[in-house]
Structure 1
Amino acid sequence: MHRELLRTSVLVALSMSAGWIGWSGHVLLLPVAATFPMLWSMARTRLQATAISAAYFLAASRGLPQGVANFYSSDIWPGLLLWLVATSAFVAVHAVLWTDRKGGQKPLRYLAACIAMAVPPFGILGWAHPITAAGVLFPGWEWWGLGAMAAGLIVMTTRYRPAAAIAMTGFWLWSAAEWTPPILPASWIGVDLELGASLGREADLKRQQELIDVARAQPPGTIFVLPESALGFWTPTIGRVWQRALTDTGITVISGAAIIDSQGYDNVLVKLSADGSDILYRERMPVPGSMWQPWRAWIADNGGARAHFFANPIVDVGSKSVAPLICYEQLLVWPILQSAFHRPDAIVAVGNGWWTAGTAIIDIQRASSEAWARLFDLPLVISFNI
């Protein structure tokens, strides 16, 4: 009994370490998360598998309670509650699919869990997916790298796990020695702002002019990317202000905004130039809870951000097609894979992370975006507000 308790404690501690280190915000540490399938498969009971899964996900998403407290200017308790709710999907999937059967059952069950956490509905809360490390172990391998990573994770649940661990460690060391960050596309610039909670909330003419001045300082012909929500609530008047300001500059601006109507709102990216303005992209997966609130429809209440799940995976900007990822989408698997299927020329990742102060959430988003960009050998443009 004591030996089994000790074994469980060790596995839980190792799983917590895998989540904490792998999702620390350093891209080259992402492969540490690949040890989770091995620890999950070593559980001897469903209760052990549940504890191992919970330890991994709670450690990986540890910044959520503080982030929620920052966002709502409240104490830590609402954040802790949301943290546990978010963990429930990951834990439920891995607990239900765990098995103590020998042979091929366990790897097949893990494959099912891996897929379930990558696509909706469970994939809506599919953060901290170990498959994200594919971009670190197999940069430039594209879909072959994704397949190799999936195969490695599956083998980690079998008795051949030592061979899989050695092989993956070899790829990891080789990649780390040769690692280069994704490049920027030619003539593209992403700007990071430090405007805190005021970005998107103070969208008066003075704030618009400040952003216009930053954009106009760029070289002619630049495609300039501003963070999520930078323009605030989108109106035709804002579009005309920017159109006049960009006349004769040759500059195109891509910026976040929100389009509101009687049913709710869309979190979008807008393209602005001297030729006018267009809604470029509507967010596929807003943050559940704080933005996307589907339960409102059940009680005939309007509001919240709409989720356009599989819409607009790529958009055209000039001669390039780009894969946009707004904030929360950078933590998930299916949005980037859906976009990659359409063979974009670059990834554009934007966010408004003022509420993440004191956490590693923005660093994790950046690391995840960088890993996916390296996997598919795509240029990457990043723009965040903190």
Structure 2
Amino acid sequence: MRHDWVWPTLLIIASVGVGSVAWSGHVLLLPVALGFPVLWSLSRTKKTATLVSAAYFLSASRGLPQGVATFYAADIWPGLLLWLAASASFVAAHALLWTKEVGLRPGRYVLAAVLMVVPPFGITGWAHPITAAGVLFPGWGWWGLAVTTAGLAGLVSRLCPTVAMGLIGFWLWSAASWTDPKLPEAWRGVDLELGASVGRDTSMARHRDLIATVLERGTDGVRTVILPESTLGFWTPTVERLWIRALSGHDTTVLAGAAVVNAAGYDNVVVAISADSSRILYRERMPVPGSMWQPWQPLFGGNAGAQAHIFANPVVALGSGRVAVLICYEQLLVWPVLQSMLGSPDVIVAVGNGWWTKGTSIVAIQRASTAAWAKLFSRPVVFSFNT
């Protein structure tokens, strides 16, 4: 009887530890997430596999309740409900595909992993162990992704000890020689500390301050300056004219977050502005479900909030180059970056407005995830966040 609850309890505790450490915001700790499939495979019943999966996901996404409470200026309960709801797809996929048949587990686990990459399950596919590929095999590209996938399958098979030792060896070798992703030449990301006012304070004084910041950073050979998500507020003809006029006489291109309102809701976008013209460079593929993207609202006479352009514009043209843009929530998922990498971008641009995550590790996790993918595919990356 004692054995019936001791073993599951140990697995659950270990799963909490794995989720907490792997997703603490330190890029070199991402391979700890590979401990999850091992714990999943060590479960002896479907109930234990369910609890192990829940423990991992909930601990990995532990900053969500506090962040939601801050965002809505409410108590913790809405955040807790969203936290539990978001875990449902991850837990369901791993619980339903768990099996007692050891020989079937590798295929079942890989299927669960694939489900958590692509929509609809991939819409809440945070904390995916495959993200560790960039730490284990920097520069390997798609081969690194394939080897990591094979490693995940091996970790739930009888070959687990051998596979684990091999992966640990690659991890240690990578950690010993690790360098951060390169910053693209002539690009500069601007981090702001303006809190909740970003996107809400649309006064002329705020725009003038932002313009002054851009012109200050756009020196010493810097030709492209990045501003965070939502920085410009609503993108209107007046704002457009103001920025184009301000950049007149300067050889600087600004990429900045904004919102474009339409009859169906709004688009969360990144605009490109220069002294000659401006255009919407990128429309967000996956806004935050619940707080931004609300596809059920039209059924009740409302609008869907931020629109999801799920498979649109994975790579966008800028000058003679190609850019992959990831806005905030997209940096926590797998499929947006993999879809972008299929287009062989020259640069990754990662922007966010993370004021509501204060006191959590969410922004650090976003940066770590994006850095891991940039290292895997040997792409330079430029960050720009507001906190």
Pick the TM interval, shorter chain: over 0.9
| Residues 74-103 of structure 1 deviation map (CA, whole Å, 9 limit, x = unaligned) | 111111111000111100110011111132
Look up the SS of the partner of 1:321 in the other structure. strand
Look up the SS of the partner of 1:186 in the other structure. coil
Aligned position for 1:66:
66
Shift of 1:254: 0.1
Shift of 1:204: 1.4
| Residues 187-228 of structure 1 deviation map (CA, whole Å, 9 limit, x = unaligned) | 000010000000000011111100000011121651000000
Aligned position for 1:382:
383
Shift of 1:300: 3.4
Shift of 1:31: 0.2
The one-letter code of the counterpart of 2:8 is T
The correspondence of residues 31-50 of structure 1 with structure 2, limited to 5 A, is: 31-50=31-50
Look up the SS of the partner of 1:256 in the other structure. strand
Look up the SS of the partner of 2:117 in the other structure. coil
Distance 1:132 1:227 in 2: 23
Aligned position for 1:292:
293
Is there any run of 5+ residues in structure 2 with no aligned partner, and where?
none
Residue 131 (structure 1) aligned with residue 116 (structure 2): no
The one-letter code of the counterpart of 2:92 is A
The correspondence of residues 86-235 of structure 1 with structure 2, limited to 5 A, is: 86-103=86-103, 105-217=104-216, 218-219=218-219, 222-235=223-236
- Maintained 8 Å contact 1:283/1:326: yes
Shift of 1:4: 2.2
Distance 1:75 1:301 in 2: 25
Is there any run of 5+ residues in structure 1 with no aligned partner, and where?
none
Distance 2:215 2:281 in 1: 21
- Maintained 8 Å contact 2:11/2:52: yes
Structure 1 residue ranges (4+ consecutive) displaced by more than 3 angstroms after TM superposition: none
Aligned position for 1:339:
340
- Number of residues paired by the alignment? 385
The correspondence of residues 234-245 of structure 1 with structure 2, limited to 5 A, is: 234-245=235-246
- Maintained 8 Å contact 1:19/1:60: yes
The correspondence of residues 344-383 of structure 1 with structure 2, limited to 5 A, is: 344-383=345-384
Shift of 1:263: 1.4
The correspondence of residues 71-90 of structure 1 with structure 2, limited to 5 A, is: 71-90=71-90
The one-letter code of the counterpart of 2:331 is Q
TM-score for the superposition, normalised by structure 1: 0.99
- Maintained 8 Å contact 2:188/2:222: no
Aligned position for 1:11:
11
Aligned position for 1:279:
280
TM-score for the superposition, normalised by structure 2: 0.98
The correspondence of residues 300-315 of structure 1 with structure 2, limited to 5 A, is: 300-315=301-316
Distance 2:202 2:22 in 1: 37
Distance 1:108 1:303 in 2: 37
Distance 1:298 1:122 in 2: 22
- Maintained 8 Å contact 1:190/1:226: yes
The one-letter code of the counterpart of 2:253 is T
Distance 1:100 1:299 in 2: 44
- Maintained 8 Å contact 1:240/1:276: no
Look up the SS of the partner of 2:326 in the other structure. strand
Aligned position for 2:268:
267
- Maintained 8 Å contact 2:287/2:307: yes
Distance 1:297 1:49 in 2: 37
Inter-CA distance 364–221: structure 2 relative to 1 (3 Å threshold): closer
Look up the SS of the partner of 1:348 in the other structure. strand
- Maintained 8 Å contact 2:295/2:304: no
Distance 1:319 1:35 in 2: 43
Look up the SS of the partner of 1:288 in the other structure. coil
- Maintained 8 Å contact 2:116/2:124: yes
- CA-based RMSD of the aligned residues comes to 0.8
Distance 1:329 1:214 in 2: 26
Distance 1:303 1:294 in 2: 5
